[in-house]
């Protein structure tokens, strides 16, 4: 299964935390770790410094406490732990999947399982609570969705629509209709 992974296994780039303005690039391939940096400074001493690069085999990176601390300082402890796991051959295939693909898979789960999945990680919790997931859930479980119900979702959210009974939903829609009518009984013009 590891042979299906593309190169690099992981890469990230960005600016160091303030007050530094230096720029860093970090990459993990199947055989090595690449660490690059560019000094960005107004000081005359640093003005002509060239970019630097370190390439290490995966085993050497696991023993290099100095480089690990630099990665953690610039990109955070989570990135360091994830890259160390990659170096040890522990591939988290779910990290490589896009949110839209994971949402599609989640939409086939029972709600009980969705709740459990949302407790496994911060990423899954965000996806399981997202409006995109709940919209998919409503559309998958309902034969038709009226334009008024879809419009109501922008006010109350798709999750509320999902858990609201049909009669209660009709009440909410009729209340909403009454709010959009003018005092003389004419309905307000919509922009759509």
pLDDT, one tens digit per residue, over 44-84 is 777 778 899 999 999 999 999 999 999 999 999 989 999 99
pLDDT tens digits, 8-52: 888 999 999 988 889 999 999 999 999 999 988 777 777 778 899
The residue with greater pLDDT, 81 or 131, is 81
Q: Are 88 and 74 in contact (CB under 8 A)?
A: no
Domain end: 80, 96, 112, which one? 96
Q: For the residues 130-144, what does the mean pLDDT come to?
A: 80
47 and 107 in a single domain? The answer is: no
pLDDT of residue 189: 38
Count up the domains in the chain and report the number: 2
CATH of the domain at 137: 1.20.1280
53 and 137 in a single domain? The answer is: no
User: What domain range is 107 assigned to?
Assistant: 99-180
10 and 89 in a single domain? The answer is: yes
77 and 46 in a single domain? The answer is: yes
Question: Is there a domain that residue 186 lies in?
Answer: no
Question: Is there a domain that residue 192 lies in?
Answer: no
pLDDT of residue 53: 96
Question: Is there a domain that residue 84 lies in?
Answer: yes
Return d(Cα 29, Cα 20) in angstroms, integer. Answer: 27
Question: Is there a domain that residue 30 lies in?
Answer: yes
Domain end: 76, 96, 116, which one? 96
103 and 169 in a single domain? The answer is: yes
Percentage of the chain beyond pLDDT 90 is 38
Q: Are 156 and 169 in contact (CB under 8 A)?
A: no
70 and 144 in a single domain? The answer is: no
pLDDT of residue 58: 95
90 and 104 in a single domain? The answer is: no
3, pLDDT greater than 90: no
Q: Sign of the C-alpha dihedral, residues 186, 187, 188, 192?
A: negative
Domain end: 96, 111, 135, which one? 96
The residue with greater pLDDT, 96 or 186, is 96
Q: Which of 19-33, 41-55, 93-107, 168-182 has the highest mean pLDDT?
A: 19-33
Q: For the residues 158-164, what does the mean pLDDT come to?
A: 76
Question: Is there a domain that residue 48 lies in?
Answer: yes
Percentage of the chain beyond pLDDT 70 is 89
143, pLDDT greater than 70: no
The residue with greater pLDDT, 154 or 50, is 50
Average pLDDT of the residues of the chain: 83
pLDDT of residue 161: 73
Phi, psi of 154 (to 5 degrees): -70, -25
Report field, pTM of the whole predicted structure over 0.75: no
84 and 164 in a single domain? The answer is: no
89 and 122 in a single domain? The answer is: no
Return d(Cα 189, Cα 156) in angstroms, integer. Answer: 22
Count of CB atoms situated within 10 Å of the CB of 124: 17
């Amino acid at each position: 299964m590891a042979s299906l992974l593309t190169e690099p296994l992981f890469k990230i780039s960005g600016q160091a935390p303030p007050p530094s303005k230096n720029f860093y690039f970090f990459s993990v391939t199947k055989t090595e770790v690449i660490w690059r940096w560019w000094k960005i400074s107004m000081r005359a001493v640093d003005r002509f410094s060239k970019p630097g690069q370190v390439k290490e085999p995966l085993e050497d990176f696991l023993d290099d406490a100095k480089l690990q601390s630099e990665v953690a300082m610039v990109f955070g402890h989570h990135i360091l732990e994830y890259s160390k796991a990659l170096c040890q051959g522990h591939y988290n295939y779910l990290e490589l999947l896009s949110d839209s693909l994971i949402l599609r898979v989640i939409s086939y789960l029972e709600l009980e399982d969705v709740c459990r999945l949302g407790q496994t990680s911060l990423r899954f919790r965000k996806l399981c609570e997202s409006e995109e997931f709940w919209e998919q859930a409503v559309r998958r479980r309902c034969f038709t969705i009226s334009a008024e119900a879809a419009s109501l979702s922008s006010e109350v959210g798709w999750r509320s629509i999902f858990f609201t009974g049909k009669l209660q939903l009709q009440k909410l829609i009729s209340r909403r209709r009454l709010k959009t009518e003018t005092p003389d009984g004419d309905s307000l013009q919509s922009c759509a």
